Structure 1
Amino acid sequence: MSITKAIILSAGQGSRLLPLTRDVPKCMIDFNGRSLIGWQVAALVANGVTDIVVVTGFRTERVEDHALQLYRDTGARIRTLFNPFFQVADNLGTCWIAREEMDRDFIILNGDTIVSPEIVARLIAGASAPITVTVDVKADYDDDDMKVNRDATGRLHAIGKRLLPPDTNAESIGMLAFRGEGPAIFRNQVDQMMRTPEGVERWYLRAIDIIAKGHAVGTVSIEGLPWQEVDFPQDVEAATVLTAQWVEAANKV
Structure 2
Amino acid sequence: MLEAQLHSLQEAGIVDVTIIVGYRAEQIEAKLHKYKKDFNISTIYNPFYDVSNNLLSVWMARHLMQDEFITINGDDMFTADVIINLMKSKHNITMVMDEKEHYDEDDMKIIHHDGLVKEVSKQIDPAKANGESVGIIKFSGHGPQIYVNILEEMVRHPENKNSFYLKAIQEIINKGYPVHFSKCNPGDWGELDFHPDLMLIREYVTQTNLVAKIFDKE
SS at match of 2:168: helix
Evaluate the alpha carbon distance shift between residue 156 and residue 67 of structure 1 in structure 2; reply closer, same or farther with a 3 A threshold. same
Q: Hey, what's the Cα distance between the residues in 2 that align with 1:133 and 1:119?
A: 11
Give the aligned residue type for 1:108.
T
TM-score if structure 1 supplies the norm length? 0.79
Please give the alpha-carbon distance, in whole angstroms, between the structure 2 residues aligned to 1:61 and 1:170: 36
Question: Match of 2:21?
Answer: 56
- 2:141 corresponding residue in structure 1: 180
Residue 238 of structure 1, CA deviation: 2.5
Kept in 2, the 8 Å contact 1:92–1:202? The answer is yes
Partner Cα separation in structure 2 for residue 111 and residue 144 of structure 1: 17
3-state SS, counterpart of residue 50 of structure 2: coil
What's the CA shift for 1:47? 1.7
The residue that corresponds to 2:90 in the other structure is 128
- Distance in 1, Cα, partners of 2:2 & 2:94: 22
Q: Does residue 1:113 correspond to 2:80, yes or no?
A: no
User: Unpaired runs of 5+ in structure 1?
Assistant: 1-35
AA aligned opposite 1:200: K
Q: Secondary structure at the match of 1:87?
A: helix
Deviation at 1:179? 0.5
SS, match of residue 239 in structure 1: helix
Task: State the SS of the aligned residue for 2:134.
Answer: strand
In structure 1, C-alpha distance between the alignment counterparts of 2:150 and 2:81, rounded to whole Å: 30
For the aligned residue pairs, the C-alpha RMSD in angstroms reads 1.7
- Calculate the TM-score normalised by the size of structure 2: 0.91
- The C-alpha deviation readout for 1:32-54, integer Å capped at 9, x for no partner, is xxxx1111111112122111000
Quote how far apart the aligned CAs of 1:131 are: 0.7
The answer to whether the Cα contact below 8 Å between 2:109 and 2:129 also exists between their aligned partners in 1 is yes
Q: Is the 8 A contact 1:114 1:239 kept in 2?
A: no
Q: Which runs of 5+ in 2 are unaligned?
A: none
Conserved 8 A contact 1:119-1:225: no
1:200 paired residue number: 161
Distance 1:198 1:76, change over 3 A: same
* Partner AA of 2:55 in structure 1: L
Percent of matched pairs sharing the same residue: 31
Give the number of equivalent residue pairs. Answer: 212
Q: Give 1:38's aligned residue.
A: 3
